[in-house]
Amino acid sequence: MPAAIAARPVEAPHALPLLGHAGQLWFRPLPFIRELAYKHGLVTLRLGPYRAYLACGTADVLEVLHDARTFDKGGPLFEKARLLVGDGLVSSDFTTHRRQRLLLQPAFHTARLPGYQQLMARQVDATLATWRTGQVLDLGHAMHTLTLRVAARTMFGARLDDRAIGEVVAAMPVIMRGVYQRMVLPVDWTHRLPLPANRRFERARATMHRVIGDTVRAYRRSGQDHHDLLSILVHGRDEHGAGLTEEEIHDQVMTLLIGATEPPGDALTWIFSLLAAHPDAERAVRAEADHVLGCRPATVLTPDDLPRLEHTHRVVREALRLYPPAWLLTRTTTRDTRLAGHPVKKGSTVLFSPYQTQHDPRVFPEPRRFDPDRWRAPTAAARLAMLPFGAGNRKCIGDEVALTELVGVTAAVAARFRLRPVSGTTPRPVARASLGADRVLMTVQSRRPNTVRSLPGRTGTAAS
Ligand code: HEM
């Protein structure tokens, strides 16, 4: 909280002519956001021709999150996200959101978690069965491929074939970069120029639309109810008996596929990078995995086992604190209001950053230090400032699914492998629409013979 409220919100430093703060948000987004934290309650930013507010205190961020009617999705920056996900759940406005969320919610009911967990574990075991000692992994690529396979299997029943998986994994970073670029510099004509980056973005977008169109069509052709998320989207009815239109189904599938692939893929990349750099934490995760899993495959993990992976949970939480994939979020005000003691006019853009609240040194001493033990007995302030999944009625619908996946994958890998960074490659954060890492290369070391007997027709192969 600021010591005293300035007469007007302060403008953030380092604005450039024409670009405003777009340069800061593109070239040094994380230091820029950290430096603004807790110095002021509300700052103004200039993004090309637009002005935006950045809410800097946890209390103000929570106010934005919990008053979804006043701080709604929308505004010029948000329109850029709509380029991609249309009117899916993550981007729909207050009036359409409730209907959509009610339709989708059954797919995320806790009772469905054990089923998802089994489907996830099968994908994890299938992937780990292909790892060999000495193999060099592009960690980000491996984790995003895994989360995409899991998403396709758990949500859309149908397996995306390997070609489609490869296409989507390649398209996703181009899209995340392009959407972010359009958000920080929302000047339309620059994105219509025939530049290679713009062409790559359009191609990636077209790929995603094609793959999703094919998936939905194949699903419809099968004519069956598979009792999964896509079935709910195709067959679900709201309280007035109305279903989703073709376009709405497409937008929801796009939203869910991106939501279930990109953030968990980035989170897993960080988890294994952090573990490789912190041997004590890694040893503790390994010991816990040995205790709970032993040399059995991930498919034997049950929902009852997950709470026993206490240290692994703390590691996951701490990784999400240090590198929250959804690090910068935006809203638009639907009426004149006040924020951090300042009047804010209807139609204003308000940004906020879980990365910022999670790096407040008053709440998290030495905020840049990886310390899973800080989650042994977190303070009330730490719980409030920890917002990797957002809060309020726009909170991530997949938070439980995601935590199950992150903890399950971390334990399954730790039970059988060590990942060692190839010398000279240190992961560096890349903050775009999601907070990922640049190329991280890891060498795989098997801890024991890689036997995965639970998968029918598969015998263990890779030996240490
Ligand atoms: C580490 C993993 C994940 C992180 C960090 C994450 C983060 C978030 C955050 C911060 C929001 C709120 C955005 C806002 O307030 O503007 C959100 C919303 C959402 N997430 Fe996630 N997410 C993750 C995994 C998932 C998964 C696995 C799914 C789907 C299975 C998913 C689907 C969604 C959807 C549909 C929304 C929109 C919810 C609404 O507005 O009602 N996410 N996510």
Q: 263 in ligand 1 pocket by Cβ < 6 Å?
A: yes
Type of residue found at 68: A
Average pLDDT over residues 58-86: 88
Q: Average pLDDT over the chain, rounded to whole? A: 87
**Model pLDDT for residues 107-134, shown as the tens digit of each residue:** 898 888 888 888 888 889 999 999 999 9
Cβ atoms of 48 and 18 within 8 Å: the answer is yes
Cβ proximity of 9 and 48 under 8 Å? no
Average pLDDT over residues 160-189: 81
Residue 231 confidence (pLDDT): 82
CA-based end-to-end distance of the chain:
54
- Give me ligand 1 centre to Cα 259, in Å: 6
| Full-model pTM | 0.91
Task: Confirm or reject: Cβ of 394 under 6 Å from ligand 1.
Answer: yes
Task: Say if residues 401 and 260 touch (Cβ distance below 8 Å).
Answer: yes
Token pair 């000279």: residue: 424
Ligand 1 center from residue 211 Cα (angstroms): 21
Q: Where are the domains of the chain?
A: 3-446
324 CA closest ligand 1 atom index: 5
398 Cβ below 6 A of ligand 1: yes
Determine the pLDDT at residue 379. Answer: 98
Q: Please determine, looking at this structure, whether the domain spanning 3-446 carries the CATH number 1.10.630.10.
A: yes
Single out the residue of 221, 214, 180 nearest to residue 328, CA to CA.
Answer: 180
User: How far is ligand 1, taken at its centre, from the CA of residue 333, in Å?
Assistant: 21
Q: Whose CA is nearest to atom 39 of ligand 1?
A: 394
Instruction: Note the Cα 114 to chain centre separation in Å.
Output: 21
Residue 19 has which token pair? Answer: 């670009």
Q: Which of 287-291, 337-341, 393-397, 449-453 has the lowest mean pLDDT?
A: 449-453
Q: Report the candidate in 326, 321, 328 with the shortest Cα–Cα distance to residue 274.
A: 321
Our answer on whether the CB atom of 396 is closer than 6 Å to any ligand 1 atom is yes
Give the largest Cα separation in the chain, rounded. Answer: 70
Atom nearest to 108 CA in ligand 1 = 30
Is 267's C-beta closer than 6 angstroms to any atom of ligand 1? yes
CA 151 to centroid of ligand 1, rounded, Å: 13
**Tens of pLDDT along 227-279?**
778 888 887 777 777 778 888 888 898 899 889 999 999 999 999 999 999 99
Ligand 1 atom at minimum distance from 252 CA: 35
Cα 459 to ligand 1 centroid, rounded to whole Å: 36
Band of pLDDT at residue 194, cut at 50, 70 and 90: confident
What is the whole-number distance in angstroms between the Cα of residue 204 and the centre of ligand 1? Answer: 22
CB–CB of 96/38 below 8 Å? Answer: no
